[in-house]
Structures are given as structure tokens and as C-alpha cells.
């Protein structure tokens, strides 16, 4: 655990210290994007924060390669090399988008290219623990893997509309997935706790936490396309790698792990981004628009419409993300007699806080009607 904590600390410090540098570069050299009607921020804000996040991720992975604790991961370096190449593509595409505002179909082609790079380097989904569903066709395996990667990247992108929201939810997701991956590693071996997914989530957790103080309201910098795509890619790859472990040739080693965890946990970790993505696609398609057309109908917009201030709305969405993500692990692997009542209590509390502005307005109307 100490090796993972060191990586989290190093990536945190790197991201925290480097972000102001790119904020200054963005303010000096990048074009100022005018504030749009759907935006929550009030003044033009630099969008190079993703570069700082990617640098933190790369440094963390590089440091891990020099630590004997992670020798088992770097002994077969193809998956790690795939992640690094994917980060490089994302970095270039993200900066170009910040400079030139690339068309959606160009970015989609780039995202598919990222997915193919990951597949080329050995991360590919061959089965799901749902009725022993196997993908026998290599073409189907590649297609499903790329769709998961592209979908996760866009899910993070869609939720990145409120100061600190994407970074905070991603940190919660990375922390939850790190705990699960680490627990998985401890159940497999009593000697080697190094795990590919845990490594990715550890560096992602540090990088997002280091960026968050600069991005929480009022944000002085945004992560931009490079940040959301890097985060989405790492979460997707961590998911695919864990699923491959549990369902691979050595699956008997994971017999004490609930078979549904590789499916439920990613859904729990990413429930808000995936839900927002699905609702946006349905809403825009129903209105005869492209799914990539921007609008003001995201979950965070609805929270603001309820009457929550932006910072409070972000904190409430953090609570929902943490509640769902941690609930999957605790209910599946913990003491259910204790976990379920606590989970229900947490659900009730977060629900009340979410709907409090409406309840407060109704209470005031009721009080006025009684006076009349």
C-alpha cells in the first residue's frame, strides 16, 4: 500500500504545482473563449488544465516503472505502453481542440484511434460475466472495447460543465476503483499486490486531486478536452483490465470475488456521467439534433435549476457519486447487515439535500397560504 500512496502523493504534488504554470500559459497564449449562455462560469477561463493532469499521470507511471514493487506490471509493458501512447494522442488532440475548436467528427475519429491503440497493446474485452457472454469474433471484441473506451471518454466530457465537477467525480471513481483493484490483488496473492488497474487508478486519483483545488468554484482553469479524455480513457482501461483479470485464463484465482462486480462496479463508479450521456443522447436525438450538439439540459444544469448554488450542486453530485460507487463495493464485499442500513440512511440524506430547495419553497408557500 505504501508504494501506491507514494504514487498518489507524487502525482498530486505534480498536478497541483504544474497547473498554475499552464494556467498562465493558457491565459497568455490561448484564444479567449467567450462565455456562452449554457456556461456556469462568469468570465473566460484557460483550458489547459488537462496538460497538467497528463504530465502528472506520465510522471506517476514513470516513477512506478522504477519501483521494484511494480516489476510484475512492467515485465510485460505492452498495456502500459498503450496507455502512454493514448495519452500522447489525447494531449495533441486536446491542445488542438483548445486552439482550433475541432469539429465533433474529427474528435470522434481521434477517440476511436485512442481506442484502437489500447486494443493494439493488448487491452481487449473478450467476455462479460452476464450469462457467460463471450465475444468469439475478434471484430466484435475490438468493436465492444472501442465503444466502451469512447463512451467513457464522452461520458466524462458531458459531465464537465460545472466547476470541479468532472475532476471531483473522477477522483471519487478512481478512489473507489483503486480500493476494489487493490482488494482484488490481495485476494490473488499474499506476496505481490501490484495490479495494473490499481496503478492506473492511483495515479489518476493523485492527478485529479491535485488539479481540483484550481478547478473548484471559482475555477481559475478548466481541464479542457485533453483532461476529460485522459480521465475517461484511464477509467475505461482500468475497467477492461479488471474484467480481463477476473474472466481470464486464471479466473479460478478470483473465485471469491462476486462475478458481477466487474460489471456493476464500473456502472456504480460512472453512474452520473453514463446517465448524463444517455439522457443527452436521447434528448438531442428526440429533438432532431446531433448527439454531440451542446445544450443546457445536463444533470448539473438541472441541479442549478432546482435552486442550488454551483458549488453546492457540485458537492451534492459528489455525494451521489460516492454513495453509488462505494455502495457497490460495501454491499458486495462487506458486512451487509451493517452496510445496507447505512447505505439506506445515506441515500435518504442525500435525497433530502438534493430536493431541499423545492421542499423549502413548498413549505414557504404552505406557510403563506395558512396566513391567508
Per the listing, cell 484465482 goes with: 253
Omega into 267 within 30° of 0, i.e. cis? no
Torsion of Cα atoms, 139 then 145 then 150 then 155, to 10°: 140
Long-range contacts of 286-291 (CB under 8 A, 24+ apart): 290/104
Per the listing, cell 470475488 goes with: 257
Pick from 320, 316, 297, 322: nearest CA to 356:
316
Q: Got the DSSP string for 214-240?
A: HHSSSPS---HHHHHHHHHHHHHHHHH
Pick from 100, 115, 120, 98: nearest CA to 46:
98
Enumerate the known binding-site residues.
157
Enumerate the known binding-site residues for Mg(2+).
157
**Residues pairing with 133 in the sheet:** 128
CA distance readout (Å), 85 to 44, 121, 147, 299: 31, 10, 19, 32
CA distance readout (Å), 291 to 206, 258, 278, 332: 32, 35, 10, 35
Q: Label residues 183-197 b or e (16+ Cβ within 10 Å = b).
A: bbbeebeeeebbbbb
Per the listing, cell 471519487 goes with: 172
Pick from 16, 1, 20, 284: nearest CA to 167:
16
Instruction: Give dist(CA 198, CA 118) in Å, integer.
Output: 17
What's the alpha-carbon Rg for the chain, to the nearest Å? 21
Amino acid at each position: 500500500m505504501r508504494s501506491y500512496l507514494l504514487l498518489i502523493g507524487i502525482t498530486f504534488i505534480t498536478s497541483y504545482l504544474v497547473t498554475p504554470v499552464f494556467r498562465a500559459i493558457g491565459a497568455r497564449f490561448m484564444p479567449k473563449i467567450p462565455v456562452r449562455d449554457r456556461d456556469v462560469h462568469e468570465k473566460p477561463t484557460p483550458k489547459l488544465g488537462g496538460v497538467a493532469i497528463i504530465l502528472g499521470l506520465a510522471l506517476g507511471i514513470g516513477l512506478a516503472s522504477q519501483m521494484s514493487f511494480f516489476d510484475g506490471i512492467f515485465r510485460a509493458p505492452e498495456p502500459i505502453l498503450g496507455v502512454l501512447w493514448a495519452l500522447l494522442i489525447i494531449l495533441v488532440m486536446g491542445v488542438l481542440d483548445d486552439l482550433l475548436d475541432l469539429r465533433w467528427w474529427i474528435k470522434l475519429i481521434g477517440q476511436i484511434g485512442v481506442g484502437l491503440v489500447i486494443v493494439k497493446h493488448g487491452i481487449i474485452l473478450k467476455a462479460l460475466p452476464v450469462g457467460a457472454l463471450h465475444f468469439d469474433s475478434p471484430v466484435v471484441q475490438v468493436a465492444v472495447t472501442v465503444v466502451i473506451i469512447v463512451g467513457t471518454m464522452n461520458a466524462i466530457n458531458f459531465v464537465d460543465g460545472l466547476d470541479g465537477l468532472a475532476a471531483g467525480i473522477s477522483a471519487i471513481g478512481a478512489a473507489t476503483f483503486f480500493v476494489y483493484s487493490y482488494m482484488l490483488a490481495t485476494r490473488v496473492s499474499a506476496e505481490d499486490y501490484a495490479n495494473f488497474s490499481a496503478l492506473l487508478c492511483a495515479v489518476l486519483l493523485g492527478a485529479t486531486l491535485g488539479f481540483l483545488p484550481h478547478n473548484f468554484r471559482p475555477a481559475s482553469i478548466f481541464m479542457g478536452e485533453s483532461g476529460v479524455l485522459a480521465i475517461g480513457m484511464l477509467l475505461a482501461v482500468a475497467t477492461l483490465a479488471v474484467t480481463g483479470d477476473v474472466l481470464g485464463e486464471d479466473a479460478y484465482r478470483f473465485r471469491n470475488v462476486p462475478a458481477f462486480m466487474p460489471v456493476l462496479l464500473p456502472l456504480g463508479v460512472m453512474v452520473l456521467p453514463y446517465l448524463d450521456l444517455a439522457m443527452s443522447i436521447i434528448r438531442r436525438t428526440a429533438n432532431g439534433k446531433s448527439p454531440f450538439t451542446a445544450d443546457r439540459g445536463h444533470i448539473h444544469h438541472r441541479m442549478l435549476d432546482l435552486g442550488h448554488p454551483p458549488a453546492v450542486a457540485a458537492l451534492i453530485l459528489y455525494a451521489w457519486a460516492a454513495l453509488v460507487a462505494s455502495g457497490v463495493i460495501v454491499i458486495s464485499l462487506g458486512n451487509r447487515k451493517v452496510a445496507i442500513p447505512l447505505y439506506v440512511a445515506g441515500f435518504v440524506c442525500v435525497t433530502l439535500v438534493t430536493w431541499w430547495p423545492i421542499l423549502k419553497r413548498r413549505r414557504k408557500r404552505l406557510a403563506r397560504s395558512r396566513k391567508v
